[in-house]
Amino acid sequence: MTVPSLTESRPLNTEAPPILDVRGLWKVFGPKAGRVVGSALSRAELKEQTGCVAAVRDVSFSVRRGEVFVVMGLSGSGKSTLVRCLTRLIEPTAGEIVLDGEDIRTADARKLRELRRHRMAMVFQHFGLLPHRCVLENVAFGLEIRGTPKKERYERAREVLGLVGLTGFENSYPDQLSGGMQQRVGLARALAADPEVLLFDEPFSALDPLIRREMQNEVIRLHHEVGKTMVFITHDLSEALKLGDRILIMRDGELVQVGTPDEVVGAPADEYVANFVSDVPRSHVLTLSWVMRPPLDGEPLDGPELGPDVVIRDAVHAVLSADRPVRVVRDGGLLGVVTSAEILEVIAGGQH
């Protein structure tokens, strides 16, 4: 598999308050859907006995402000349904959705429109651009609907086009642009409204691999630059590991695990996740905190220092070239030590 590039470890800000809280969310398609909520039957049994499909089953999670939160799972696992439920593009069958203190489930039509236009913008796989409008007008479209005066909305559109690297293409039409560029326009359009949360529904899966990687890097860069909260759907594990601060893994509508990339790879919740991550080179994802150990009696403690969030791959040279154990230190406190033995065990272990 493609190896995610995690040269810069990104310690998660666990202090950040949640911006989005989802509790006990269900979406059941089919007749008398409400009756299926709470059922312990498997998806297949439910389908057979009730004719209903439980696309999302009792899913709860919180997204922290400024986080890139990835929802990952195989086709049919319920990712799109889950994310569409967040803005009620699909009406949930049961559960709570709270955005920054506001209950989305009880929002009226006016509030919902405002929510979709201003607060949670979606970037779709198939761009959804207006073919007869130029790039500038496409990006300004959301602001136009919102009643923003022309001068102001064009100014904002130019600003976000600059952010996504499309300055100079304002007057082009969508069919004059490559897929990657069209998706940049989609991204700019979502950013133009300055939403609190950006939702991405498999935005890059129609792009060829090189462009896809370029767009992933673009998302990382934009995230550093604008610091937006992002909920990103993908079925691609390497994309999830590359982009996610945390990853929610779904199977058959259910949440299987939520964790940071190193948690998902280092401590898979079950066999399903373990199989998923079995091809990931552990040294590229696990951090020193996974391999450090307490110092032994008499072991020298004046070796070089590294932080616990440094990815093993990036620590290899420092650890192997040190003639003393590397001290793993946070805020001046010694957490443990790492020597060549621990590093080589991960590398020699290959996939395991």
Q: Please name the helix (run of DSSP H) or strand (run of DSSP E) that holds residue 114, with its range, or none.
A: helix 109-114
Among 73, 92, 142, 259, binds ligand ATP (CB under 6 A): 73
Site residues for ligand ATP, 233-272, by CB under 6 A, read 235
For ligand ATP, the closer of residues 74 and 341 by Cβ is 74
- Smallest gap from Cβ 134 to ligand ATP, in A, equals 31
The yes or no reply on residue 75 touching ligand ATP (CB under 6 A) is yes
- Stretch of 60-68, 70-78, 98-106, 304-312 lying at the interface with ligand ATP (CB under 6 A): 70-78
Angstrom distance (rounded) from CA 313 to CA 126: 36
Write the DSSP assignment of 9-45 as a string of letters.
Answer: -----TTSPEEEEEEEEEEEESTTGGGGTT--S-HHH
For ligand ATP, the closer of residues 28 and 312 by Cβ is 28
- Stretch of 75-83, 217-225, 275-283, 301-309 lying at the interface with ligand ATP (CB under 6 A): 75-83
**Contact indicator for 350, 279 with CB cutoff of 8 Å:** no
The yes or no reply on residue 125 touching ligand ATP (CB under 6 A) is no
Site residues for ligand ATP, 23-62, by CB under 6 A, read 29, 53, 55
For ligand ATP, the closer of residues 137 and 202 by Cβ is 202
Angstrom distance (rounded) from CA 245 to CA 196: 17
The yes or no reply on residue 142 touching ligand ATP (CB under 6 A) is no
The yes or no reply on residue 126 touching ligand ATP (CB under 6 A) is no
Helix (H, G, I), strand (E, B) or coil at 332: coil
- Stretch of 71-79, 110-118, 156-164, 318-326 lying at the interface with ligand ATP (CB under 6 A): 71-79
Instruction: Give the strand order in the sheet containing 53-64.
Output: 53-64, 18-29, 94-99, 102-103
* Alpha-carbon torsion (196, 202, 206, 209), positive or negative: positive
Residues 6+ apart with CB under 8 A from 276: 237, 249, 268
- Smallest gap from Cβ 105 to ligand ATP, in A, equals 19
For ligand ATP, the closer of residues 75 and 106 by Cβ is 75
The yes or no reply on residue 77 touching ligand ATP (CB under 6 A) is yes
For ligand ATP, the closer of residues 29 and 173 by Cβ is 29
For ligand ATP, the closer of residues 188 and 240 by Cβ is 240
Using alpha carbons only, what angle is made at residue 128 by residues 181 and 84, rounded to the nearest 5 degrees? 120
Write the DSSP assignment of 141-185 as a string of letters.
Answer: HHHHHTT--HHHHHHHHHHHHHHTT-TT-TT--GGGS-HHHHHHH
For ligand ATP, the closer of residues 79 and 282 by Cβ is 79
Name the β-bridge partners of 293: 337
- Stretch of 76-84, 143-151, 290-298, 307-315 lying at the interface with ligand ATP (CB under 6 A): 76-84
Burial state string for 258-277 with b = 16 or more CB within 10 A and e = fewer than 16: bbbbbbbbbebeeeebeebb
The yes or no reply on residue 80 touching ligand ATP (CB under 6 A) is yes
Site residues for ligand ATP, 174-213, by CB under 6 A, read none
Q: How many CA atoms does the CB half-sphere of 142 hold within 13 Å?
A: 28
Q: For binding to ligand ATP (CB under 6 A), which residues are involved?
A: 29, 53, 55, 73, 75-81, 235
